[in-house]
A and B are shown apart, each in its own frame.
Chain A
Amino acid sequence: MGDTRVGFLIDTSRCIGCRSCQVACKQWNKLTVDETRNEGTFENPRDLTSQLYNRIRFVEGDDGKGGVKWSFFNERCLHCGEAGCMKVCPAPGALYRTHEGIVGYNAEKCISCKYCVSACPFNVPRYGGKEEKVSKCHLCLDRVQGGIAPACAKACPTETLKFGRRDDLVAKAKAAKKELYGENDLNGLGVVYALDAPPESYGLPKKPSIPMSIFLWKDVVKPLGILGFWGSIGAMLLHYVTVGPKKLEDENGTQGGDHGK
């Protein structure tokens, strides 16, 4: 992946919360509107949906002068180097990694088991339509492979969303002494953040990892289970030829018959 890997560098300090990225994504991907409710916050919608692949989280803080300080955070699939969603997906080809390091998906192959959302460290995939097929940010795979930048990055007026070769983006951000999130976690996230507050304040896990239960399920129980299956069959065969079955005495023989009873 290394050399050809593309990604985003998202510098939260530049974001003004205009949500052009949300709109551009909807437009490019022909997504419909979601009905939302006013819940007394400017954040809208309140969560990713099958019709919303990225959105701005509005984090309200104290500005120290009795007023409100806004922080804006672009939430989306992070195209993890080690992707929990791909680890658990039972449908070949439903989730796949491209040569550019993008985690793409093919809804036609999705069987709607919804394992991927449980395995995603960031709770990203959503399911829509009558068939409840997977959907999420695909890093504008179609555009990127055609040589143009993703729709959201193109629409962003402040260069908060910078798209490019991942190595270059990371190098540049480091040269500018930015605090990076996701540079090495999970084999490096495809979307690296330069955060201006601790990750938890944006609702991000401090140190992202595959959820513990999912790790135990796929990396411990699964291989041991296959061993256990063949082990049980082997043990029974071995028992049969070594200790042997508990045979009944010959019914007509001296010991067994029920005449004497």
Chain B
Amino acid sequence: MASRYVERFSAKERVLHWFVTIAFFILVFSGLGLYSRLFTGWFDLFGGGKGAILFHKIAGLLFFASSLLLFLSHRKEITTFDEDDRDWVTKRGGYLSREEEHFNSGKFNAGQKLFGIFIGAATVALGVSGVFIWAPTAFPRLIVQFSLLLHGLTFVLAVMFVIVHIYLATIGNPGTLEGMLYGHVRRIWARKHHPKWYREVGE
């Protein structure tokens, strides 16, 4: 029991998470120029608009497959909510006040679960609409037009949620990133943020 650390994510989980992240950012940067002519300059990263579209298609396939796998691999933890999660939601995770709040969270708190579900749903929405946008002349116009709208809307929401995710996983909750980088987190971190999970695995 001398170790200050407790295992949080296996190497497989970590690689998958960073794979999804890299694919996501390739999609964002290659998609920016397609999103608005304000961002045409981003095409240069990919050798022009045609290159950006090619990168976007490849990264799209990789993101769809890997993100879906990430979701399915924590589906059980992420889609079951209990009383303690409800408490987290009513108090907004304690993020809106400077008072210390304590929540009896399991491996993931309610906010993380909701984020996980959102990303899973967004992955499906982006992937399905992406197929219609890929070959617009092969499908009915109304479906393609709606897909362009859905793809743009989901993209915006995903970027906004990911910004919040990055903040909370880094400077917003010091010590959290260690788990995704090295696989283990400090015991005091686990006890503070995920006490129910810590009781199961750490003590």
Contacts and interface: CB of A to CB of B under 8 A. Distances in A.
Contacts, number: 131
Contacts of B160: 228-229, 231-232
Contacts of B146: 213
A243 B145 contact: no
A233 B162 CA distance: 10
Q: For the complex, would chain B's binding face be called helix, strand, loop or mixed by DSSP majority?
A: helix
How large, as a class, is the contact surface on chain B? 35 or more
Contacts of A258: 1, 4, 187-188, 191
Interface in A163-222: 211-214, 216-217, 221-222
B68 interface: no
B141 A92 contact: no
B90 interface: no
Nearest to B135: A114
B167 A236 contact: yes
B130 interface: no
Contacts of A261: 1, 187, 203
A117 B172 contact: no
A236 B164 contact: yes
A111 interface: yes
A31 B191 CA distance: 73
Contact of B172 (A118, A123, A228, A240): A240
A197 to B, nearest CB: 24
Contacts of A58: none
Interface size class on chain A is 35 or more
A33 interface: no
A113 B34 contact: yes
A44 interface: no
A230 B37 CA distance: 18
B164 A243 contact: no
A214 B159 contact: no
A257 B172 CA distance: 21
B145 A214 contact: yes
A217 B37 contact: no
Interchain residue pairs A-B with the least CB separation, the first 10: A111-B49, A225-B156, A213-B145, A236-B167, A232-B163, A213-B149, A258-B187, A217-B149, A256-B188, A232-B160
28 contacts: A90-B35, A90-B36, A90-B37, A111-B48, A111-B49, A111-B53, A112-B50, A113-B34, A115-B136, A117-B137, A118-B145, A211-B141, A213-B142, A213-B145, A214-B148, A217-B148, A217-B152, A224-B156, A228-B160, A229-B156, A236-B167, A243-B97, A245-B171, A245-B172, A246-B172, A246-B193, A251-B186, A258-B188
